[in-house]
Structures are given as structure tokens and as C-alpha cells.
């Protein structure tokens, strides 16, 4: 199984992540710097609450000015690709889900 790192496909990934059928195939890797050094965490796309938590985590990193990058990891039928995603677009798209804690 092979894959690629892709840049510039933010909208495609974000739209797919909102589709109930396909969002199970996407998870999010956030790599950031903290006082303790380089860290990472991940979020699944399986529920809107997870996507809102991802957006909130990115907001927190931005508030403390922690350098960070976000990858969407998309498991396809024949390969797995990593998409470098603009964190601001994630906050815009998923940060305001109504009725989701």
C-alpha cells in the first residue's frame, strides 16, 4: 500500500469529512510544539463532536501561539494519503457545529 502527502485539497477533504458515508475513513493528526517539545495528538472524524473538538483544540493552540500543522489522513481502498490542511479552514468549517458539545 502506498500513499502521498497532498497540499491544496482542503475543500475536498473538508467536504468529504461532512459526508456520513466517507468520514469514517479520515482521521486528523495535529503536530505542535509545547513547553515539553514536539507533541502530537489525533482526532477521529466519526462524529461531529470529534470534529468540533478538533476545531477547539486548534483554537487553543492558536491562543497560546503554539506552532502547529494539521494533516488529514485518508484511508482509501488502495492507498492512504496525508493531506496538509490549513488549520483556519478547520476552525471555520467545524468550530460552529450547533448543539454539539
For the chain, how many structural domains are there in total?
1
21 three-state secondary structure: coil
For the chain, give me the number of helices (H) and strands (E)? Answer: 3, 5
Residue 68 lies in a domain: yes
Which helix (H) or strand (E) segment holds residue 18: the answer is none
How confident is the prediction along the chain (101 residues), in pLDDT tens digits per residue? 456 778 788 888 888 877 766 677 889 999 999 999 999 999 998 788 889 999 999 999 999 999 999 999 988 777 788 999 999 999 998 887 665 55
Residue 43 lies in a domain: yes
* CA dist list (Å): 69 to 17, 20, 77, 79, 100: 18, 25, 26, 22, 24
83 forms beta bridges with 6, 72
The domain in which residue 17 lies consists of: 5-94
Residue 100 lies in a domain: no
Residue 99 lies in a domain: no
**How high is the pLDDT of residue 65?**
96
Cα 86 to chain center, whole Å?
Answer: 9
Amino acid at each position: 500500500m502506498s500513499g502521498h502527502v497532498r497540499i491544496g485539497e482542503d475543500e475536498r477533504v473538508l467536504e468529504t469529512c461532512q459526508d456520513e458515508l466517507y468520514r469514517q475513513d479520515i482521521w486528523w493528526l495535529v503536530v505542535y510544539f509545547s513547553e515539553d517539545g514536539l507533541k502530537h495528538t489525533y482526532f477521529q472524524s466519526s462524529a461531529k463532536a470529534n470534529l468540533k473538538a478538533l476545531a477547539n483544540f486548534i483554537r487553543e493552540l492558536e491562543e497560546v501561539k503554539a506552532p502547529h500543522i494539521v494533516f488529514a489522513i485518508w484511508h482509501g481502498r488502495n492507498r492512504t494519503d496525508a493531506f496538509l490542511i490549513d488549520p483556519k479552514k478547520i476552525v471555520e468549517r467545524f468550530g460552529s457545529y450547533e448543539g454539539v458539545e
